[in-house]
Amino acid sequence: MSIARWLLSGVLLALAAQVGADDSPRYFKGGAGTDMAAFVTENCVACHAVKPVGDGPRHSAATRAESGPPLYYVGDKYREEWLREWLQAPERIRPAGYYPSANVRASPEGDAIDETSLVSHPILDAELAEEVAGYLMTLTPYADRLAQEEYEPASVPLRMARLDFRRFKGCVACHQDVKGEGGVSGPELYSAWSRLQPQFIVSFVRSPGQWNPDTMMPVLEMNDAAIHRLANYLKTIAEE
């Protein structure tokens, strides 16, 4: 190899390393007339399921580190206002990603989250976020399931409810109920009330596998009153 070629390949390698290390997010701008279903299929399927999938694995091992939750029932799960805001300014919800095992590495101090393999989420401008959120909210394949929930949200005394969430039910092993306090294998729950529909929270806690056959959220045998108390706790911390 000539010196010039050798130097050039060095430069290319350096460039490649830089591209790999560049985690600045993709930025999407709105434009009149964009077909939202097509936009989502084109730009979101790489990391999100946009259709129900069969019983096989949802994502290949190579894409697990980048994967996010399914988007085909957004209208049954999220609150539209939250969705519109989050798409413009995404903040991390799952400290170790959607598949923690893909982002956690063993280290001498114990397991550590590999921040470099976590996704910097694409950002949408205000116009596009409004349109995408509006479209995604029309996806409600499980509306009947949610309509069966008989849950009336109420506030509860914080101290007892916190004790229940943390100590008696053990939710804190996997979830943070206060920023920086709690486990990292599940989504943070301090913003759950502003993020999720109340009926979804109740339904998901009772039977996570109905929503996600692959889920790592365990079924914790509880009656409806106990589940409602936990949902009320999420409401109460949102109002603190």
The binding site for ligand HEC (CB under 6 A) comprises 40, 43-44, 46-48, 66-69, 71, 83, 86, 92-94, 97-98, 119, 121-122, 132, 169-171, 173-175, 185-187, 192, 196, 201, 204-205, 208, 212, 215-218, 220, 230
> Which residue lies nearer to ligand HEC by CB, 9 or 210?
210
In whole angstroms, how close is the CB of 154 to ligand HEC at the nearest point?
A: 16
Nearest CA among 86, 69, 88 for reference residue 128: 88
> Which residue lies nearer to ligand HEC by CB, 92 or 162?
92
In whole angstroms, how close is the CB of 21 to ligand HEC at the nearest point?
A: 16
Instruction: Show the tokens assigned to 82.
Output: 């939250």
In whole angstroms, how close is the CB of 146 to ligand HEC at the nearest point?
A: 14
> Which residue lies nearer to ligand HEC by CB, 37 or 216?
216
> Which residue lies nearer to ligand HEC by CB, 120 or 240?
120
Compute the distance between CA of residue 44 and CA of residue 28 in angstroms, rounded to an integer.
Answer: 12
Nearest CA among 155, 234, 160 for reference residue 193: 234
- Beta-sheet pairing, 123-124 with 27-28: parallel
> Which residue lies nearer to ligand HEC by CB, 9 or 238?
238
In whole angstroms, how close is the CB of 2 to ligand HEC at the nearest point?
A: 39
Strand, helix or coil for residue 42 = helix
From the centroid of its chain, how far is CA 7? 43
Instruction: Show the tokens assigned to 197.
Output: 């529909």
In whole angstroms, how close is the CB of 110 to ligand HEC at the nearest point?
A: 17
What DSSP string runs through 59-101? S-GGGGGG-----TTHHHHB-HHHHHHHHHS---SSTT-SSHH
Q: How many residues does the structure list for the chain? A: 240
In whole angstroms, how close is the CB of 212 to ligand HEC at the nearest point?
A: 4
> Which residue lies nearer to ligand HEC by CB, 175 or 235?
175
28, β-bridge pairs: 124
In whole angstroms, how close is the CB of 109 to ligand HEC at the nearest point?
A: 22
> Which residue lies nearer to ligand HEC by CB, 104 or 205?
205
Q: Is 227 exposed, middle or buried (0-12, 13-18, 19+ CB in 10 A)?
A: buried
Nearest CA among 70, 60, 64 for reference residue 99: 64
